[in-house]
Structure 1
Amino acid sequence: MLAELHVENFGLIEKIHLNFSLGLTVFTGETGAGKSMLIDALAVLLGGRASAEHIRHGQGRATLEGVFAGLPASILSRLEEAGYPAEEGQLFLGREVNSSGRNVCRVQGRTLPLSLYRTLCAGLVDIHGQAEHQSLLQQETQRNLLDALGGREQRKLKDEVQRQALVYRGISKRLQELGLSEAERQKRVDMLQFQLDEIDRINPLPGEEEKLTEEKKRLSNAEKILNLAGETYACLYEGSGRGQAAYDLLAAARKDLAELARLDGRCAGMADQVETVYYALEDLAEQVRAYREDFDFDPGRLEEIGDRLVELHRLRKYGVSIEEILMLRSGLVKELGDLGSLEFQLEEVRVRQKEALQSYRESAGCLSEKRKEQAERLEKGLARELSGLGLERSRLEVRLLPRSGVHPEGMEDIEFYFSANPGEPPKPLSKVASGGEMSRLMLALKALLARAEEVGTFVFDEVDSGVGGRTVQKVGEKLSQIAREKQVFCITHSAAVAALAEEHFGIVKEVMNGKTRTLVRLLGQEERVEELARMLGGKGEISRRHAQELWHAGGRQAESEGKPESENNLI
């Protein structure tokens, strides 16, 4: 269940902190007061889509926090496996929506990616608004509702069918790839062999192109290199037209510093340094001389390098580098080997495909049997539930429509057929149900599924829309029925529904200092009666007396009196 909800700077909400309990909780207020905004905030907290438009005008971010308690074993296990174990049985969620578009998600006070956050929030709350009522018209929703009635066992079976269908499709795709005609296969072999032969004939080596390019640059500049080396040697050792050799000048400096050090001991360090430089220069001059004498220029080698680089460049169509070309070669060898053993592979894949199909049919067949059982159970259960919602003469059929081939959702489509009146044949739900009937159908389905689903909190946004009179009372009673086993939140415009709630929150909109904000507060007994009177259409004595009757009919006591308002009021 949702134990606490904190919302700050979200839409018109400035700052609220609400505490909740089990049972039926209703939210009421004038149209436009911001009732649905509270549900939007809860949806965003649970990982729903968020944007900067959700942030209160003039603020930089919206903050949403929630505390969940009484979690089912499956959610506790999921949190444990993900490394976010519940703390004393409680789950702490937090989400910040920034004007920059950046989201910060927290579980148990630790930040985590939005994708993982959504996974951990799944199954905590079931939210149903007008859009969800309309989704009941879609076959996908109808199929999911039927499967949900089968509980965890059916979900596991459905997951297995999906897995096996994907395995079968993967094998079939591989079989299709292998099933080329002989002419196409030979054409492919010839092309691959041509590419392999061309690469092998040239036989590129890793790093070869870089080495050859460097050698070509050296040989192409041989004359300049030899001249530079000769000039360098002359400057260092022999002397040249530029002047006396550095070696001779350094020898003179060495001699002078040695004498200077003899006369003044403080110059000993300089004498040592010049000694080191003297021998280093002598060694450098020797290296330059040896380099020049050993430099080998062969015009034939330069031509040979050019021809080799042209060949390597020809292979560029297979890759921008020799490493890529060699990787391609490995792929060519593998594919040629695969094509060479095509018949063997074809037979092997055919056997695997047959086995995968058999496994799929067995699991999908079991799923079909489960669906038939659940369809019968759903029809009987809905007849009972709808009878209590003013639709006692209606009838809903669950039809399993066989389909061919292998499908991740099983061997049949699911479609709900509905008849609201006796003597009228059932027709697809999307063609016959009115808005009020759709709301009650969804409510009846949720009443059935509440026992099978592990979701602890159900949220209904104006589930009583489109109905009136005695039917509204029945809708409220059905919500109360669900609330015996689950925590139920309901936004309603109906006084009959609101009177049945254990807790009643009033939502109002006020303008202060030129700014509009939405306030949410828990109502005491007298406040509830006043709110019921408003919902009945007035503040006169007749409306108030009627509100009192509704209150007493709901069997409620003044349970909210005495609760500290700071817990549930605008802060």
Structure 2
Amino acid sequence: MLTELSIRDFAIIDQVSMTFNEGLTVLTGETGAGKSIIIDAVQLLAGGRGSVEFVRHGAKKAEIEGLFTIEANDHPIYEKSEQYGVEIQDGQIVLQRVITANGKSICRVNSKLVTLAILKEFGKTLIDIHSQHETQSLMDPENHINLLDLYEPKKIAKAKQEYTYLYEKLSMLRKKYRQLNDNEQEMAHRLDLLEFQQKELEQANLAPDEDKELEEERATLANYERIYQSLQDTYTALYGEHRGLDWLNQAQMAIQDAKDYDPFISEKADEISSNYYILEELTYQIRNHIDSLEYDPSRLNEIEARLDEINRLKKKYGPTVNEILEYYAQIEEEMEEITNKDSHLSNLANQIQEIAQDAYLEAKQLHDIRKHASDSLVEEVHKELKSLYLEKATFSISFAEEPAGEDKAKLLHTNGFDQIRFMISTNPGEPQKALNKVASGGEMSRIMLILKKIFAKHQGVTSVIFDEVDTGVSGRVAQAIAEKIVQVSKDSQVLCITHLPQVAAMADTHKFIEKRQEKNRTSTLVSELSSEQQVEELSRMITGTKLTETAKEHAKELLELASSFKSHTV
């Protein structure tokens, strides 16, 4: 769960630090106080798109940092951390996001610098944010298949991975076929270019690692005098009367006199003798190497000219000689394909047909898993509809007709061959229609809340955030939504921004967001309400203006009802 959140110089927030607990945490306050800004900060922490507009006026950067604690040892975050080389200790994850005033975004996970895409990968396994914008995404049928895939994530993900591998291979082969088959004139021009490149590289007559070997030889020739003098000085210091080897030999002879009387001396005498012979052999090798040295200025000129030629080729074909040779091999392969285009097209067509059949079988398996998952999901949704006063509503998941015939593989796409729509009828006797054609704003909020409750236990996210999910509801529906949010909080930590007193009364922790002005600057402050303060805040939410004793009594009654409901909720 999200344990701590720190926000600095973000929008109108100067500095805010919050501690969160398990269960349901409610955030309330006047409109414009900065409640949604806090959710915006969490979205950025989870990898959302940033902007310089988020940096507080006059500040150099906006900083957001969140500490998450993970209790389950099999949580998906551990797989992510292993994949991206992030170390997790004591089940703690720290996500950090910095946005500078010049637009740069810096992301860290447990102090390790990561890309925004990687931060998003971690964020989606930890945080699930439901906002009014996301409710709108439910209206788009293109998103329905992704929602269904969240219901059985492990089974569907495995089948989808196997299908995706084949589909990408199929797409690559189809692209290759089109490139080889299309535009005879373009192919002819391409062949001319390849023949020119092939001839140029053949004339160069490159050898593997030639550039490295030439650079080493050039370094030796260019520094001949320094190398020679260094070796000569070394040899002179070691060999000759009263030089290194001579003194070591005297030491060897001196210690021999007492080796029979002391085990230590015996051991060290052998070591000195061994080192003497090693150093003597080394001296001979240095002498031989000095004798082999030869300075050839013409050879240095040859090397320079050859390296100039190699560097010219590197600019065109690759950063190293070995990579240039790899490119040469690719040229030959592509020329052979173009020259024998018809046979290659035939071979590609056979490969495409074979891979397409395999991909279709995987898509069929993916379809079968989705069908089974959809039946279970529909059953769960129907149970939840009744609890949110949509008992007359019927829900189903529509699948497009399964493709048939020889060309069925042509209908494959990134998600298989499935086309899925969520269908609903909210009134008896009315046929089911696409969700976006039927549901009102209040109904959409309830349906999305139902899906979130169902998915919370399937996705394994540690924190679910609701940003004004109660829009468009009131009365008994508001109470039902409050009860549903509590049920979600039994499986995951829930943070909820609300304007409904029914929802706020359910809070295990109630935080109040307010806006203050100091020194002509506006700042957002966050405080945790005591029991008495919670009664006053609920009273304000009920009346909207003046606090009355009746409103306070109503607030206390709401809290008692909430406490009773939570005590009986498993």
Structure 2 letter corresponding to 1:422: P
Residues 509 and 516 in structure 1, CA contact (< 8 A), matched pair in contact too: yes
Q: Which amino acid aligns with 1:400?
A: F
Q: TM-score, normalised by structure 1?
A: 0.72
Give the conservation status (yes or no) of the 8 Å contact 1:192–1:332: no
Post-superposition shift, 1:126? 0.5
Q: Tell me the residue number matched to 1:509.
A: 515
Alignment length (residue pairs): 442
Structure 1 counterpart of 2:350, one-letter code: V
- Aligned residue for 1:492? 498
CA distance 1:536–1:196, shift in 2 (3 Å)? closer
Work out whether residues 180 and 187 of structure 2, in 8 Å CA contact, stay in contact via their aligned partners in 1: no
Aligned partners of 1:385 and 1:447 also within 8 Å = no
Displacement of 1:194: 11
Amino acid in structure 2 at the alignment position of 1:62: A
Q: In the alignment, does 2:452 pair up with 1:431?
A: no
CA RMSD between the two structures:
3.0
Partners of 2:52 and 2:102 within 8 A in 1: yes
In the aligned structure 2, how far is the partner of 1:108 from the partner of 1:399? Answer: 43
Within the alignment, does 1:543 sit opposite 2:516 as a pair? no
Rate the CA distance shift 1:352–1:460 in 2: closer, same or farther, 3 A.
same
Deviations 1:289-311 (A, max 9, x none): xxxxxxxxxxxxxxxxxxxxxxx
Q: Which residue of 2 aligns with 1:132?
A: 134
Per the alignment, residue 5 of structure 2 pairs with 5
Q: Hey, what does 1:378 align to over in structure 2?
A: 377
Q: Deviations over 1:39-96 (max 9, x none)?
A: 0111112221222211222222222111000255321122133221212110012222
- Alpha-carbon deviation of 1:430? 1.2
Q: Which residue of 1 aligns with 2:471?
A: 465
Distance in 1, matches of 2:158 and 2:390, equals 34
Query: Match of 1:348?
Result: 347
What is residue 450 of structure 1 aligned with on the other side?
Answer: 456
Map 1:551-570 onto structure 2 (within 5 A).
551-555=559-563
User: Following superposition of structure 1 onto structure 2, how do residues 271-286 of structure 1 map, counting pairs within 5 Å?
Assistant: none
Change (3 A) 1:323 1:517: closer
> Which one-letter code corresponds to 1:499 in the other structure?
A
Q: Is residue 66–residue 94 contact of structure 2 (8 Å, CA) maintained in 1?
A: yes
Greater Rg over alpha carbons, structure? 1
Give the alignment of 1:405-420 within 5 angstroms.
405-420=411-426
C-alpha offsets along residues 472-520 of structure 1, whole Å, 9 cap, x if unaligned?
A: 0000000001111111111000001111111111111111222211111
Choose which of 136, 141, 144 in structure 1 pairs with 2:143: 141
Question: Are the structure 2 counterparts of residues 36 and 342 from structure 1 closer, same or farther at C-alpha, using a change threshold of 3 Å?
Answer: same
Q: Does 1:394 align with 2:385?
A: no
The aligned amino acid for 2:81 is L
Give the secondary structure class of the aligned counterpart of 1:62: strand
Quote how far apart the aligned CAs of 1:171 are: 1.4
Unaligned runs of 5+ in 2: 207-311, 318-323, 566-570
Counterpart contact for 1:165–1:360, Cα < 8 Å: yes
Structure 2 contact 387–480 (Cα < 8 Å) conserved: yes
Structure 1 residues 322 and 98, CA, compared in 2 at 3 Å: closer, same or farther?
A: closer
Whether the aligned pair in 1 keeps the contact of 2:392 and 2:426 (CA below 8 Å) is yes
Which deviates more, 166-175 or 33-42? 166-175
Cα deviation per residue 1:84-139 (whole Å; 9 max; x = unaligned)?
Answer: 12121100122222112222222212333333333333321000111000000112
Q: Does 1:59 align with 2:59?
A: yes
**Inter-CA distance 200–54: structure 2 relative to 1 (3 Å threshold):** closer
Distance 1:553 1:377 in 2: 32
| TM-aligned CA deviation for residue 384 of structure 1 | 0.8
Q: What CA distance in whole angstroms lies between the structure 2 residues aligned with 1:395 and 1:177?
A: 50
Code of the residue aligned with 2:21 in structure 1: it is S
| Structure 2 CA distance for aligned equivalents of residues 191 and 121 of structure 1 | 46
Task: Render the CA deviation track for 1:253-275: whole Å, top value 9, x for unaligned.
Answer: xxxxxxxxxxxxxxxxxxxxxxx
Identical residues among aligned pairs (%)? 35
TM (normalized to structure 2)? 0.72
**Residues 363/57 of structure 1: CA separation in 2 closer, same or farther (3 Å cut):** same
> How is 1:103-502 mapped onto 2 (pairs within 5 angstroms)?
103-179=105-181, 184=184, 192=191, 196=195, 334-402=333-401, 404=408, 405-502=411-508
Offset at 1:554?
1.1
Q: 1:102 to 1:336 in 2, by over 3 A?
A: closer
The amino acid of 1:69's aligned partner reads: T
Residue 357 and residue 511 in structure 1: after superposition, are their counterparts in 2 closer, same or farther (change >3 A)? same
Give the stretch that moved more between structures: 29-38 or 62-71.
62-71
